[in-house]
């Protein structure tokens, strides 16, 4: 724009009138240009202040971003509807911030919960056993908790998985059957305050009803045990699982006692957690045992006779060992006796003395 046009924009058209000589001087032209530029700068500052109020530097913009993200809102900084770009950036910042917060909270929660590590402290016996309890054949295994914090609403579920064939000839490779747990309150809930022996009575409802000790070695089955409960400290549901195949089921064994009481204080010896001892048990199936109860009586009688015979042998061995020990002590004492010694006096008399 020329100087004349700039003057026209300031003072308007001259309308054919003669211009004042002062207006033709270079000093007036310089003064008019400075005034116009200053007005343009002030108008740009006004537009900027209309977009963002009180944001005059990068530090102010950064503080404004933090206030928006954490919803502090001191009230000194704000944006107006005159800047759609700033509004778009603010929306994107909120979305990204929410995603980051959700990811961080999830990571921290999963790290502190550690449900799988809590399940590692729930232990099962390495072998399961089948023995007589209360006159019935029972399938038993032991479960324990290594931590002091308890598992709330703990429940045990047992399933037998085996290959079966339907009457129509269909082969079911993984046939699952639930088997009940022997519990006085008729539920699968347990109070896991100390190691417990979970018992399943082999009756007519059990898939092990027609299996004998000889058949067990040839059976293609697996007993799956699932222990579920709520962690007391975090309230998260945890689950521990194990399984027993036919080779891991010991027929005619029983778990040793690991809980002792001394002056009203109970102690648990976890070093014997999976130890078993051999006991008398019929080798027939539970079905044969129900049909012929005399088998159990004969088995118990034979066990009692064998136990008495073993006690007699043990007592006789102890008696023989004690007699041998006494004989050896006598021999040692006889070897310590000093022989007789003769002393010859000057007179030629011989006196025999014992020392």
131: Cβ contacts below 8 Å, ≥ 6 apart: 137, 138, 140, 252, 253, 254, 279, 281
pLDDT of residue 344: 54
Q: How confident is the model at residue 87 (pLDDT cuts 50, 70, 90)?
A: confident
**pLDDT for residue 268 is more than 60:** yes
Q: Dihedrals φ, ψ of 212, to 5°?
A: -100, 180
Given a cut of 70, whether residue 51 has pLDDT beyond it is no
The two tokens of residue 269 are 């010896």
Residue-wise pLDDT for 129-185, tens only, equals 999 888 889 999 999 988 888 888 888 999 999 888 888 888 888 888 888 887 655
Under the banding of pLDDT at 50, 70 and 90, the label for residue 19 is: very low
Whether the per-residue pLDDT at 39 is higher than 60: the answer is no
Which one of 35-44, 80-89, 287-296 scores highest in mean pLDDT? 287-296
Q: What six digits make up the tokens of 162?
A: 């085996």
Report whether 302 contacts 279 (CB < 8 A): no
Please report the pLDDT score of residue 16 as a whole number. Answer: 43
pLDDT at 54 over 80: no
Q: Looking at residue 58, what is its pLDDT?
A: 75
Beta 128-133 vs 249-251: how paired, if at all? parallel
Q: What distance in Å separates the CA atoms of residue 350 and residue 355, rounded to the nearest whole number? A: 16
Confidence band of 260 (pLDDT split at 50, 70, 90): confident
Q: What are phi and psi of 335, to 5 degrees?
A: -70, -20
Are the C-beta atoms of 225 and 124 separated by less than 8 Å? yes
**Local confidence band at 45 (pLDDT 50, 70, 90 cut-offs):** very low
What is the mean predicted confidence (pLDDT) over 250-274? 88
24 DSSP 8-state letter: G
The C-alpha atoms of residue 255 and residue 273 are separated, in whole angstroms, by 8
Question: Quick check: 283 and 251 in contact, CB under 8 A?
Answer: yes
15 or 76, which is more confident: 76
Q: How confident is the model at residue 124 (pLDDT cuts 50, 70, 90)?
A: very high
Positive or negative torsion for Cα 69, 70, 72, 74: negative
N-terminal to C-terminal alpha carbon distance within the chain = 150
Q: Which of 67-76, 104-113, 126-135 has the highest mean pLDDT?
A: 126-135
Predicted local confidence at residue 303, as pLDDT:
63
Nearest in space to 128 (alpha carbons), one of 276, 299, 281: 276
113-127, 155-169, 234-248, 263-277, range with the lowest pLDDT: 113-127
Question: For the residues of 192-261, what is the DSSP string, one character each?
Answer: -SS-EEEEEE-STTSTTTT--HHHHTT--EEEEEEEEEEETTT--EEEEEEEEEGGGEEETEEEPP-EEE
């Amino acid at each position: 724009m020329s100087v004349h046009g700039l003057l026209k924009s300031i003072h308007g058209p001259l309308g054919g009138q003669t211009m004042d000589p002062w207006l033709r001087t270079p000093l007036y032209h310089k003064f008019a240009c400075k005034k116009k530029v200053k007005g343009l700068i002030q108008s740009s500052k006004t537009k900027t202040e209309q977009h963002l109020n009180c944001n005059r530097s990068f530090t102010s913009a950064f503080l404004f971003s933090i206030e928006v993200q954490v919803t502090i809102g001191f009230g000194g900084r704000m944006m107006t509807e005159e800047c759609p770009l700033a509004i778009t950036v603010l929306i994107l910042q909120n979305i990204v911030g929410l995603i980051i917060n959700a990811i961080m909270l999830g990571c921290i929660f999963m790290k502190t919960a550690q449900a799988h590590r809590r399940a590692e402290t729930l232990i099962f016996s390495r072998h399961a056993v089948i023995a007589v309890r209360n006159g019935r054949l029972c399938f038993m295994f032991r479960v324990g908790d290594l931590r002091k914090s308890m598992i709330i609403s703990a429940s045990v579920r047992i399933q037998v998985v085996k290959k079966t064939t339907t009457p129509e000839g269909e082969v079911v490779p993984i046939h699952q059957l639930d088997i009940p747990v022997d519990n006085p309150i008729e539920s699968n809930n347990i109070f896991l305050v100390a190691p417990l022996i979970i018992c399943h009575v082999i009756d007519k409802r059990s898939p092990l009803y027609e299996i004998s000790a000889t058949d067990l070695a040839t059976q293609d089955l697996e007993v799956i045990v699932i222990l579920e409960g709520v962690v007391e400290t975090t309230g998260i549901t945890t689950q521990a699982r194990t399984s027993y195949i036919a080779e891991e089921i010991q027929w005619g064994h029983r778990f040793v006692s690991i809980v002792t009481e001394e002056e009203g204080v109970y102690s648990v010896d976890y070093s014997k957690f999976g130890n078993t001892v051999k006991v008398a048990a019929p080798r027939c199936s539970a079905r044969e045992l129900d049909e012929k109860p005399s088998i159990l009586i004969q088995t118990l009688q034979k066990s009692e006779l064998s136990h008495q015979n073993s006690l007699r042998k043990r007592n006789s061995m102890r008696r023989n060992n004690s007699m041998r020990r006494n004989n050896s002590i006598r021999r040692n004492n006889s070897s310590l006796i000093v022989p007789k010694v003769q002393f010859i006096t000057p007179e030629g008399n011989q006196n025999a003395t014992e020392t």
